[in-house]
Amino acid sequence: MPWRETRDPYAVLVSEVMLQQTQVSRVLGKYGGFIEAFPSLDALAAAPLAAVLEQWRGLGYDRRALNLKRTAELVSASYGGRLPSDPAVLAGMPGIGPATAAAVATYAFGAFAPFIETNVRAVFLHHCFPDADRVPDRELMPLVEAAWDRDDPREWGYALMDYGSELKRTMPNPSRRSTHHREQSWFEGSRRQKRAGILRDVLARPGGTAAEYARSCGVEPATARELLGELEAEGFLAREGERYSVVG
């Protein structure tokens, strides 16, 4: 995992955002190319959104790419292109949140910033709540904080990731006994797939109308208009008259 070989805050941030809801194997196939295309926060901030989305292709949940670019723009404009080390500050940036902020603080800055994500959750459910169901994170967090290594928080975090992953591979996933466990929704034929298809079509053929994208993507015209409006409202697309293109 190349992100474990660096303490560059930007590179760590990219990996942590990519790893949200995405398997390590898929991230490994995209991480190096993304960093090569956008080697710094300033480079990502200055890049066209279309180029960022193109590099992100295949990872899914494109909102993560949009938020990552927005964070880069914020850091470039307000922090001189240097990512803050304070997890409380990081958590307020687009698409980051408390767990990702703590992970970046841990892995990039070596901070003591315990956090819970799916693998950490698996470890503590397995050892501390072996027979319990519907366990909330508020009951796990004091144990996570007490156990986290203060002398080497970075390596402890990586060890928990690996151990939790192994537990989930070799036994029934302990995380299923958490109140926060959610099954990932089926992608094939879903609204999420239709939305992703329309966004990809606008990237490939900017300047089309809702009717044109509906035909090329095989969705109902009303659905196409709704999804295009949603993408416009979220900041992915711009509309001129009846024609859509990617922002920037």
With respect to CATH, is domain 191-246 assigned 3.30.1490.20? no
- For 54-98, what is each residue's pLDDT tens digit? 999 999 999 999 999 999 999 999 999 999 999 999 999 999 999
**Distance from C-alpha of 129 to C-alpha of 178, rounded to nearest angstrom:** 10
- For 139-177, what is each residue's pLDDT tens digit? 999 999 999 999 999 999 999 999 999 999 999 889 888
Residue pair 199/236 in contact by the 8 Å Cβ criterion: yes
**Strand partners for 243:** 209, 240
pTM over 0.85: yes
CATH fold for the domain made of 2-109:
Endonuclease III; domain 1 (1.10.340)
**Distance from C-alpha of 29 to C-alpha of 229, rounded to nearest angstrom:** 31
> pLDDT averaged over the chain?
95
Give the pLDDT confidence score for residue 183 in this predicted structure. Answer: 66
- Judge whether residue 239 has pLDDT over 90: yes
DSSP result, 152-185: -HHHHHHHHHHHHHHHHHHSS-GGGGBTT--PPP
Give the pLDDT confidence score for residue 184 in this predicted structure. Answer: 64
Give the pLDDT confidence score for residue 123 in this predicted structure. Answer: 97
Q: Which residues are catalytic?
A: 16
The residues spanned by each domain of the chain are: 2-109, 118-177, 191-246
